[in-house]
């Protein structure tokens, strides 16, 4: 499975030319959202608390810049993958906390993050938040464990979160999570 990593800044999308191979799980919360209302809420919070909100926005930007640096450091990734994955996971966790602090998370997003954290996986909301999808990094250290660990996590996750489907980018449409896991992880020992 392959795809592209893009950066969105000031309304402009830029495709990162070089990026590390990154395995992710994309979970749809099945919660609709009102982006206009979320943006307005963040704006109101920024007016009420300008200094703290400015600091949070600067921190979000710093996390993003550092994460992009890791995503583009292919040679460092190849020689020190475990450390690089660890740094990226920490940045995902920090970013989610910052996004919660500005009011764009949702209880369904928080529940997914809490559940994946029980299995040492880091997750964060995507897009504007308030529902929508959650991105979870699947590090190589997880893939190197026994297949039974993976297969015990994902069905529990699916049942707990009441999920039935996930996006499989290889085919561009929805697949059953369990069937895809069987196909993707059948060769793990």
| pLDDT > 70: percent of the chain | 72
Residue labelled with tokens 């940045």: 91
- The residues, any chain, with a CB within 8 Å of residue 137's CB and separated by 6 or more, are 22, 23, 24, 85, 88, 89, 92, 121, 122, 123
Backbone phi, psi, residue 168, to 5°: -105, 105
From the list 111, 159, 162, 123, the residue with the least C-alpha distance to 25 is: 123
Across the chain, what does the average pLDDT equal? 77
Report angle CA 148, 120, 186 to the nearest 5 degrees.
Answer: 25
Instruction: Give pLDDT tens digits for 15-73.
Output: 877 777 777 888 888 888 888 999 999 999 999 999 999 999 999 999 999 998 998 88
Which range in 20-24, 134-138, 141-145 is most confidently predicted, on average pLDDT? 134-138
How far apart (Å, rounded) are the C-alpha atoms in residues 7 and 61? Answer: 12
């Amino acid at each position: 499975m392959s795809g592209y990593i893009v950066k969105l800044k000031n309304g402009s999308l830029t495709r990162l030319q070089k990026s590390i191979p990154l395995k992710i799980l994309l979970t749809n919360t099945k919660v609709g959202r009102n982006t206009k209302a979320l943006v307005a809420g963040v704006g109101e919070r920024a007016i009420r608390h300008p200094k703290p909100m400015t600091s949070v926005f600067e921190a979000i930007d710093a996390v993003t810049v550092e994460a992009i640096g890791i995503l583009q450091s292919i040679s460092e990734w190849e020689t020190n993958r475990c450390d690089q994955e660890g740094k990226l996971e920490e940045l995902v966790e920090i970013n989610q906390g910052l996004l919660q602090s500005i009011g764009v998370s949702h209880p369904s997003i928080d529940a997914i993050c809490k559940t994946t954290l029980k299995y040492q996986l880091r997750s964060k909301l995507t897009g504007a938040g308030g529902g929508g999808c959650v991105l979870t990094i699947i590090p190589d250290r997880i893939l190197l464990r026994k297949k039974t660990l993976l297969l015990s996590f994902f069905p529990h996750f699916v049942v707990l979160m009441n999920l039935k489907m996930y996006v499989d980018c290889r085919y561009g449409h929805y697949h059953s999570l369990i069937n895809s896991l069987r196909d993707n992880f059948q060769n793990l020992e």
